[in-house]
């Protein structure tokens, strides 16, 4: 289960994201984001080596406030072949040096996200150890298990698309949009599965929406 250490991290995650976000295709704010933490959740690495966090941040630097989903992994050593996905390095007060990566390019995160969607993994609270996050909802209508490897990663103006070898697509909404209906957001039409959850908007109100959508290829 995810263990949360009460310690210092230098630079902070928000400081890393402030420098990194303007380089993203889907970022619509100014050259210097003004970020606050708005929500998110964690997943466990079955091997216990990689930290997995889905961070939601609000940005008030652009012409209108925006909310972004930033999946991150934290590693004790560089991930081979992932230099292009490095968000930055940090010094953790307990764990020492940590390499933070855009999790869409980290096979541990994408595999565990697929496991969350099809029910083999459970979302964990972002800031409390050993505590499932009951606010995160998921669905899966395919034949288990879902593909766990998504080698092709493409950023669009609002999303990141990850493609498996069989044509299955895992779509992560980078720019989050609150759902209009009451109750937990449902999977979009023609989706095989989805993940949704809440966050706090810049005005302090609670919103919820879809974080990720799975659309099946030939396998499901």
pTM: 0.93
Q: What is the pLDDT of residue 219?
A: 43
The tens digit of pLDDT for each residue in 91-115 reads: 977 777 999 999 999 999 999 999 9
pLDDT of residue 128: 86
Q: Produce one character per residue of 72-99: b if its CB has 16 or more CB atoms within 10 Å, e if not.
A: bbbbeeebeebeebbbeebebeeeeebb
What is residue 190's predicted lDDT score, i.e. its pLDDT? 86
Long-range CB pairs of 17-26, under 8 A, 24+ apart, other chains included: 17/55, 17/57, 17/70, 17/87, 19/88, 20/87, 20/88, 21/59, 21/68, 21/70, 24/155, 24/174, 25/155, 25/156, 25/157, 26/68, 26/155, 26/156, 26/157, 26/158, 26/159, 26/160, 26/174, 26/175
**Residue 187's pLDDT is what?**
82
Q: What is the mean pLDDT of the chain?
A: 92
Residue 205's CB: how many other CB atoms inside 10 A? 8
* 145-163 pLDDT per residue, tens: 999 999 999 999 999 999 9
Distance (Å, rounded) from C-alpha 21 to C-alpha 138? Answer: 27
Q: Domain map of the chain by residue range?
A: 9-215
Tell me the percentage of the chain whose pLDDT exceeds 70: 95
Token pair in block for residue 92? 């953790």
Average pLDDT value for residue range 118-133: 93
DSSP code of residue 209: E
pLDDT of the residue at 145: 92
pLDDT at residue 92, rounded to an integer:
79
């Amino acid at each position: 289960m995810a263990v949360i250490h009460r310690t210092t991290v230098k630079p902070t995650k928000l400081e890393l994201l402030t420098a990194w976000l303007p380089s993203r295709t889907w970022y619509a704010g100014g050259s210097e984001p003004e970020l606050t933490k708005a929500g998110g959740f964690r997943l466990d690495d079955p091997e216990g080596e990689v930290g997995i966090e889905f961070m939601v941040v609000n940005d008030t630097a652009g012409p209108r406030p925006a909310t972004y989903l930033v999946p991150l992994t934290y590693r004790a050593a560089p991930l081979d072949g992932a230099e292009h996905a490095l968000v930055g390095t940090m010094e953790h007060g307990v764990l020492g040096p940590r390499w933070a990566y855009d999790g869409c390019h980290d096979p541990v995160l994408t595999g565990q996200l697929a496991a969350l969607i099809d029910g083999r993994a459970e979302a964990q609270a972002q800031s409390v150890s050993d505590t499932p996050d009951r606010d995160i909802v998921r669905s899966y209508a395919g034949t288990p298990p879902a593909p766990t490897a998504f080698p092709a990663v493409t950023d669009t103006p609002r999303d990141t698309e990850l493609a498996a070898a069989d044509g299955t697509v895992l779509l992560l909404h980078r720019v989050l949009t609150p759902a209009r209906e009451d109750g937990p957001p449902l999977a979009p039409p023609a989706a095989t599965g989805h993940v949704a959850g809440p966050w706090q908007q810049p005005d302090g109100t609670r919103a919820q929406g879809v974080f990720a959508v799975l659309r099946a290829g030939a396998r499901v």
